[in-house]
Amino acid sequence: MAAAGGRTLGRSSFSRATSNPVASSSGAAGVRIGPNGAAFVSSGIPDLDRILGGGFLLGSVVMIMEDADAPHHLLLLRCFMSQGVVHKQPLLFSGAMKEPRLFLGTLPAPVSSSKEDGRHRAMGAAASSDGRANDEGLRIAWQYKKYFGDDSRAEHKDNKQEFSNDFDLRKPLERHLLNGQNIECVSIQDADTLSSLQDCCSAFLSKLPRKDGGSLTAGRIAIQSLCAPQCRYFEKDWDMVSFIRSLKAMVRSSNSVAVITFPSTVLSNSFCKRWQHLADTLLSIKAIPDEDKDLAKLLTGYQDMVGFLHVHKVAQTNSQVPVILEASTLSLKLRKRRLLVLERLNQAPVDGSTGPSSAASSSCSSQGSQLDF
């Protein structure tokens, strides 16, 4: 009896749950229950959900460090917002612009063939070009079935909403989905302080109290370029840190997720570190320079990449099952010029016909500190 109890304890505390992965009852649209009862909402990018161990953890603050050379962070923010609109979840958007509601017109629409695209993802989206694509795809698909069982396909059979959709970045979201939704927009461009935004967040989150059991109505907060230089409160560093701390406390006690993007280059090193420590999940975006011959030789599929995504930290609130990343640096690619996918970096094979491989090995070592294979 003791041995059986020990096996049960080990399975419930330190193993992935293989049943009831998605909370589909009691109106819990777009909420997934993971190991140890942790609740997730989708980031809007199926690959990112898989990498983070289920998606964005409810009650957490996700921070994305922008790249000054390209606005690729907007791809992540738009997919996150569109996923909430598709699931009819309350949404609060704030940006450093005169009319933030106009930003809703740039949200992408879900593709009709997301089921087929998802199958392609599972069967070799991250496969390398060295002849092992089929074996790698089968291994990934088998692992997916092992952890999630057949429940991942039960949603399609029952005509229920998918937890995570693929979005067509070339097609805007239909206007009727934006009308009548619980969507609030707040401009922070002309604000002298962040008190008005804090009040809006407090009122928004007060409608989404955390509950144990029952209906799970998840909300989403999206804040674009919080420390943008055009905002009047830009030089008030401690006020911005105080706002993030307050928002983190409010989000932690609610059924919601807050995503904040910020240009880290405009902050001092000390305050940039403070912002990073306040994040539950921390991501950064890096654009790929044009015609980088060294990277083109080092990486396979370089011509299809638009940037890199680096995972610095993953939320681990109330979890005994830590997320172990297979790789912390991933490539951002646009499949068919419309679908955003994340893939592990694959090193290009060394061409031995040009002579000794010392040059190739030296180039690999020079990139080792920046790229994680």
Tell me the pLDDT tens digit for each residue of 14-33: 434 333 344 433 346 788 88
| Nearby residues of 132 by Cβ (< 8 Å), 6 or more positions away | none
- Whether 62 is covered by a domain: the verdict is yes
Q: What is the pLDDT of residue 147?
A: 47
Domain count for the chain, please give it.
1
**CATH number for position 78:** 3.40.50.300
- Whether 131 is covered by a domain: the verdict is no
Which of 118-127, 173-182, 341-350 has the lowest average pLDDT? 118-127
Q: Across all residues in the chain, what is the average pLDDT? A: 77
- Whether 117 is covered by a domain: the verdict is no
Q: What is the pLDDT of residue 16?
A: 40
Q: What is the pLDDT of residue 289?
A: 76
pLDDT digits (tens, 9 = 90+) for 41-100: 999 999 999 999 889 999 999 999 998 888 889 999 999 999 999 999 999 999 999 999
The DSSP 8-state label assigned to residue 235 in this structure reads T
Q: Which of 4-13, 147-156, 347-356 has the highest mean pLDDT?
A: 347-356
Q: What is the pLDDT of residue 124?
A: 44
Alpha helices in the chain (DSSP H): 2-14, 46-51, 73-86, 114-122, 133-148, 151-157, 175-178, 195-205, 237-252, 269-278, 293-298, 358-367
- Whether 88 is covered by a domain: the verdict is yes
- Whether 120 is covered by a domain: the verdict is no
The pLDDT > 70 percentage for the chain reads: 69
Q: Is the C-alpha dihedral spanning 353, 355, 356, 362 positive or negative? A: negative
Q: Which domain does 272 fall in, by range? A: 31-109+164-289
- Tokens 């609740």 label which residue? 39
C-alpha closest to that of 58 among 94, 28, 27: 28
What is the rounded average pLDDT of the residues 230-240?
92
- Whether 132 is covered by a domain: the verdict is no
Q: What is the pLDDT of residue 10?
A: 39
Select the more confidently predicted residue: 144 or 159: 144
The crossing angle, in degrees rounded to 10, of helices 237-252 and 269-278 is 10
What is the rounded average pLDDT of the residues 115-120?
50
pTM of structure: 0.75
pLDDT digits (tens, 9 = 90+) for 255-294: 999 999 999 999 999 999 999 999 999 999 998 877 776 7
The DSSP 8-state label assigned to residue 18 in this structure reads -
pLDDT band at 370 (very low <50, low <70, confident <90, very high): low
Instruction: Examine the pLDDT at 101 and tell me if it is beyond 70.
Output: yes
- Whether 235 is covered by a domain: the verdict is yes
Q: How far apart are CA 44 and CA 106, in angstroms?
A: 15
Q: What is the pLDDT of residue 260?
A: 97
- Whether 134 is covered by a domain: the verdict is no
